[in-house]
Amino acid sequence: MATTFTLNGDPVTIEGAPTALLLDVLRNGLGLTGARYGCGEEQCGACLVLVDGVAVHACGREVGTLAGRDVVTAEGVPEVIRAAFIAEQAAQCGYCSSGMIVAAAGLLGRVVRPGRDEVVAALDGNLCRCGSHPRIVAAVLRAAEGMAP
Amino acid sequence: MIANTLPKSLQDNPRLDQWITILPGGGVMLRVGKVEIGQGITTALAQIAAEELDIAPGRLVVTAGDTAAAPDEGTTTGSMSVEMSGGAVRLVCAEVRGLFLAAAAGRLERSVSGLSVRDGAVMAGAVATGLNYWNLAGAVPLAREATGAVSVKPQSAHRLVGTDMPRRDLALKLSGGGFLHDMVLPGMAHARVLHPPLIGARLEAVDAAVIERAGASVFQHGNFAAVLAGSAAVAEAALAVARPVWSGGAAIGPVMEEAGWLVGREAIHSHFGVAGEASPGDRIRAVYTRPYISHGTLGPSVAIAEFDGARLVIWSHSQGPYPLRRHVAALTGLAETAITVRHAQGAGCYGHNGADDAALEAALLALHHPGRPIRVLWTRADEFAQEPVGTAMSVEIAAALDAAGRPVDWTATIWSAPHVGRMFAANLLPFQALPEPPAAVAMVDPAPEGGGGASRNSVPIYDVGPCRVDVHLVQRPPVRTSALRGLGALPNVFAIESFLDELAERAGVDPVEYRLSILSDARARRVLVAAAEMARWARRGPAGTGAGLGIGLGRYKNKSAFAAVAVALEVDTEVRLRRIWCSVDAGLAINPDGIRNQVEGGIIQAASMTLKEQVRLGSEGIASRSWAEYPILRFSEIPPIETVLLDAGDEPPLGVGECTMGPTAAAIGNAVAHALGARIRDMPFTRERIAAALLAGG
């Protein structure tokens, strides 16, 4: 059984059970460690990836559901978002950062120049234990400026 | 500045080459024993080193927390890294620079006084001499002891220290790497440990057949058992079907959740200070509590260990590679010299979480599987249920007052479980699971003069007259406890600052004015006034309107950074934070942006603990095993935060990582009391407690 989809712009075919979890396939199968294991219960957001532009939890997503879809991991988000996080120094330990930049990419892919409330709403499912929230919001707003036409 | 006494880190690791190596090709290696746990310490230490060496920071390679390649600086705890490690790095690098300048002067046959260093090159005025750290390295042996006698730069000469240098580790972490969780060794086995539900539980049976059918194998040694597989997915599947049978263990339940349960239990008693003459009946008293708190690291603990039959190497995100090595030696029977512990980054830990247990578990498994690297990963439920939690604490303050309502005689009585469990083998999971576990030992906290544990920040920084503190350290708490960010500082500062607001109200005096009337420490006064002004304290409204403004002040450990926090909030059925202001005096600021990041992070974490957090207990152990059962503050619940760092001139740098925790909890408590016109003395501030306070106060 094989599943073919687009991963960070390139086609990829995953052999094996369609019930394999995307997080395991990414990290242990493909060596893409941007999506992080935080809870395995779709509660923290550290493993977020974009599927057809929508942020979803890789820890609960079976790879068989991805046939023909477009998947983007933290490694594949627009560089301007990563640069904004660095410019704002929007992290402490950085473990949640992958999920944050993916959630940001999901928002900025559908909304041009979102307001602060929209950013907060888009990030509200992502947990950060270090307390970098204000900087993360500032980084997403900065990225939004950089991506706006 | 001439150092009269060397920092402890330098006394323990006196040779210059334990800290600095000039690398071929234009680099310099900085070796430090303090480790990166998300607080930005490797960036700050590199900044100090580059400053004193006069090199571009990009030339530095930092090796942190490696028992084979970096000095022993104990654990990375207590906001001491800039003070201890930074102090050592500053002196070492100044001395190394001085040695190279002296060597250059000898070569050039001229005096040192006309020479300087620019990015590692020796300059005579504006002219390059052709000599530099790299071509002089052979002539400047660093295998010599530091004297501490070389002057370090004054603040006025700093070019790098005091600037907002970006974190060295962020770019990699934002690109998918940077963590031990990402490390893979060839042939690595994936292990999941079958943890006991209760302390002291006995493992009666493991069904090896069902685990083997899932494609994994089982390893058992005493009450320790783990499943091992060639892939993470198979290990997870085996863990899901493994049904270990446990018996016994110390019974626990919800009745033990609150700090009040600890009061009156069997404990080790200690006290310090001397109370005044006031009789108990003449004292005003109140009791403040907080429950057990999870570290709540975002990334569950992980470790990799590899044993080649003679040498054992462990990669761990422990805060203390050398102390961990001592435990590994005790657990495995190997000599310390046969063991290397290498720090690799994990998610922020905020104290002693599952890191050390996971490392010891990997070490034990590796010892029994020579030639095969073993990776132990904890599940989210493991991290919540198995890590040592921050202890519950009950703090009773009793004070006699003068005619103006100011304290003249102060006592604090604290009931707590131990705050520091890391150094006791009997408090670490793999030791507890041995066929013959080590006997329980008296788990005592650090002494008050060393910062204390339950007693940390229990002595007010105010003028309160004679002061006595009694600590009752309960030795058999329902759950394993150990160090959590700030130890007793948060509950103690919450208690003191809440109590002062209650006394101010009693005296009919504004809380800030009241504090200033009993506060002679000039630096503390300055941060308090700064935060009050930021919050427009003078315009503070009446109590009981549903909107509150509160303030809290503290000097972490009574010797590190000063912080004042003011909080504006609203309360209906729950608390909504509206604005937070913070002022900090951290002495010489190495990296102001790094300080702001830590200070604000501490505010948010303390706010989360104060409003929401409590470890839940059930008959099967810790019952709060997921983020749904242990909620923390989210983006939508966090208000704008404004922070100022007060200029402290050339005062020595003070640790800041934990300084805002207590003042934040206190400011929220005081703001809630202001909003409600009734006080809540027990954390967290749940709906039930808000309703109860209104009923009692109304």
Q: For the segment B297-318, what is each residue's pLDDT rounded down to a tens digit?
A: 999 999 999 999 999 999 999 9
DSSP per position, B156-169? GG-SSTTS-PPPSS
Six-digit token string for B392: 């519950």
Q: Which of B39, B188, B231, B298 to mutate to test the interface with A (most CBs of A within 10 A)?
A: B298
B185 touches chain A (CB under 8 A): no
Q: Where are the domains of chain B?
A: 8-169, 180-244+296-386, 393-435+445-697
CA proximity to B289, closest of B503, B553, B492: B492
CATH architecture under which domain B8-169 falls: 2-Layer Sandwich (3.30)
Instruction: For residues B27 and B9, give the distance between their C-alpha atoms in angstroms, rounded to a whole number.
Output: 24
Test B298 with A126 for CB contact under 8 angstroms. no
CA proximity to B32, closest of B7, B66, B77, B6: B66
Does B8-169 match B393-435+445-697 in CATH topology? yes
What pLDDT is recorded for position B649?
A: 83
Instruction: For residues B479 and B389, give the distance between their C-alpha atoms in angstroms, rounded to a whole number.
Output: 7
Per the CB < 8 A criterion, the answer to whether B662 and B683 are in contact is no
Test B298 with A41 for CB contact under 8 angstroms. no
Alpha helices for B564-627 (secondary structure H)? 592-611
Per the CB < 8 A criterion, the answer to whether B353 and B301 are in contact is yes
Q: How many CB pairs under 8 A join A and B?
A: 155
Instruction: For residues B391 and B486, give the distance between their C-alpha atoms in angstroms, rounded to a whole number.
Output: 11
Test B174 with A124 for CB contact under 8 angstroms. no
**Residue at B580: amino acid letter:** I
Test B628 with A128 for CB contact under 8 angstroms. no
Domain boundaries A2-73, CATH class: alpha beta
CA proximity to B675, closest of B536, B607, B574, B532: B574
Instruction: For residues B338 and B387, give the distance between their C-alpha atoms in angstroms, rounded to a whole number.
Output: 28
Which residue on chain A is closest to B38 by alpha carbon?
A93
How far is A58 from chain B, CA to nearest CA, in Å? 14
Instruction: For residues A51 and A55, give the distance between their C-alpha atoms in angstroms, rounded to a whole number.
Output: 6
Give per-residue pLDDT as tens, A140-149: 999 999 998 8
Six-digit token string for A79: 């560089």
Q: What is the dihedral of CA A71, A74, A77, A83, to 10 degrees?
A: 180
What pLDDT is recorded for position B3?
A: 45
Q: Can you state the angle between helices B661-676 and B687-697, rounded to 10 degrees?
A: 50
CATH code: domain A77-147 is 1.10.150.120
How far is A52 from chain B, CA to nearest CA, in Å? 20
What pLDDT is recorded for position B5?
A: 79
The helix or strand, by DSSP H or E, that contains position B131, with its residue range, turns out to be strand B127-132
Per the CB < 8 A criterion, the answer to whether B376 and B193 are in contact is yes
Residue listed under structure tokens 């904004």:
A84
What pLDDT is recorded for position B4?
A: 53
Kind of pairing between the strands at B374-377 and B121-124: unpaired
B232 touches chain A (CB under 8 A): yes
CA proximity to B59, closest of B117, B101, B120, B17: B120
CATH code: domain B393-435+445-697 is 3.30.365.10
How far is A32 from chain B, CA to nearest CA, in Å? 7
Instruction: For residues B482 and B385, give the distance between their C-alpha atoms in angstroms, rounded to a whole number.
Output: 14
Q: Can you state the angle between helices B41-53 and B81-108, rounded to 10 degrees?
A: 20
* Residues of chain B under the 50 pLDDT cut: 1-3
Residue among B169, B345, B605 minimizing CB distance to A131? B605
Contacts with B661 from chain A: Cβ below 8 Å: none
Q: Is B698 helix (H, G, I), strand (E, B) or coil?
A: coil
Residue among A86, A120, A123 minimizing CB distance to B174? A86
How far is B500 from chain A, CA to nearest CA, in Å? 28
Contacts with B169 from chain A: Cβ below 8 Å: 94
Per the CB < 8 A criterion, the answer to whether B428 and B356 are in contact is yes
Q: Can you state the angle between helices B592-611 and B489-507, rounded to 10 degrees?
A: 70
Per the CB < 8 A criterion, the answer to whether B409 and B298 are in contact is no
Contacts with A34 from chain B: Cβ below 8 Å: 175-176
Q: What angle do CA B268, B271, B272 make, to 5 degrees?
A: 150
Q: What is the dihedral of CA B511, B688, B388, A48, to 10 degrees?
A: -100
Interface of B with A in 343-362 (CB under 8 A): 345-348, 350
Which residue on chain B is closest to A128 by alpha carbon?
B298
Distances, alpha carbon B692 to alpha carbons B299, B321, B667, B687, in Å: 36, 47, 20, 9
B539 touches chain A (CB under 8 A): no
Domain boundaries B180-244+296-386, CATH class: alpha beta
Which residue on chain B is closest to A42 by alpha carbon?
B627
Residue B122 burial (CB < 10 Å; 0-12/13-18/19+)?
buried
Which residue on chain A is closest to B171 by alpha carbon?
A86
Instruction: For residues B683 and B670, give the distance between their C-alpha atoms in angstroms, rounded to a whole number.
Output: 13
Test A129 with B171 for CB contact under 8 angstroms. no
DSSP B390: B
Distances, alpha carbon B145 to alpha carbons B33, B96, B140, B408, in Å: 17, 11, 13, 50
Residue A123 scores a pLDDT above 70: yes
Q: Is B602 helix (H, G, I), strand (E, B) or coil?
A: helix
Q: Where are the domains of chain A?
A: 2-73, 77-147
Going by pLDDT thresholds of 50, 70 and 90, the confidence category of residue A72 is: very high
Test B176 with A33 for CB contact under 8 angstroms. yes
Other CB atoms within a 10 A radius of the CB of residue B468 amount to 17
B484 touches chain A (CB under 8 A): no
How far is B169 from chain A, CA to nearest CA, in Å? 9
Which residue on chain A is closest to B230 by alpha carbon?
A28
Phi first, then psi: give them for residue B240, nearest 5 degrees. Answer: -65, -30
Test A95 with B347 for CB contact under 8 angstroms. yes
Residue listed under structure tokens 């709060």:
B624
DSSP per position, A106-148? HHHHH-SS--HHHHHHHHTT---SS--HHHHHHHHHHHHHHH-
Contacts with A132 from chain B: Cβ below 8 Å: 597, 600-601
Contacts with A96 from chain B: Cβ below 8 Å: 298, 347
Q: Is B148 helix (H, G, I), strand (E, B) or coil?
A: coil
What pLDDT is recorded for position B591?
A: 93
Instruction: For residues B682 and B698, give the distance between their C-alpha atoms in angstroms, rounded to a whole number.
Output: 18
